[in-house]
Amino acid sequence: MNLPESIQVGPFRYGVSAEQKLEGDRWGHCDANWRIITLAKDMPPRQQSVTLLHEIIHAADDVFNIDLKEHQVQVLAHSLAQALSSMGAWPEKFE
Ligand SMILES: [Zn+2]
């Protein structure tokens, strides 16, 4: 599976882009104002799909005003990645 160009989150279409390195050595960032999810290319290959889920959850948190804590985002991303991967519905890594 290729990295998607955009993802629908509620009524909004979030663009997805990848940059070599992100500020502060982060692996991902979700810009809620511009509706853009950015992933670092510079991370372990199998980390990227979990990081994308993590940023999608941040996007949903913002769109639906859930007010999740960072730890909750982390737990949801890892558990969803594991469940979806076990069904073959989510890649362990992107091409
Ligand atoms: Zn986060």
| Local structure of 88: helix, strand or coil | coil
CA of 91 to the centre of ligand 1 (A): 20
CA of 32 to the centre of ligand 1 (A): 12
Instruction: Report the distance separating Cα 20 and Cα 55, nearest Å.
Output: 17
CA of 58 to the centre of ligand 1 (A): 7
Judge contact between 32 and 62, C-beta under 8 A. Answer: yes
Query: Given this model, what pLDDT does residue 31 score?
Result: 97
Q: Where are the domains of the chain?
A: 6-86
The predicted model scores a pTM of 0.94
Q: Two tokens at 49?
A: 């799909």
Q: What is the pLDDT along the chain (95 residues), one digit of tens a residue?
A: 889 999 999 999 999 999 999 999 899 999 999 999 999 998 887 899 999 999 999 999 999 999 999 999 999 999 999 999 999 998 888 87
CA of 16 to the centre of ligand 1 (A): 16
């979806």: which residue's tokens? 84
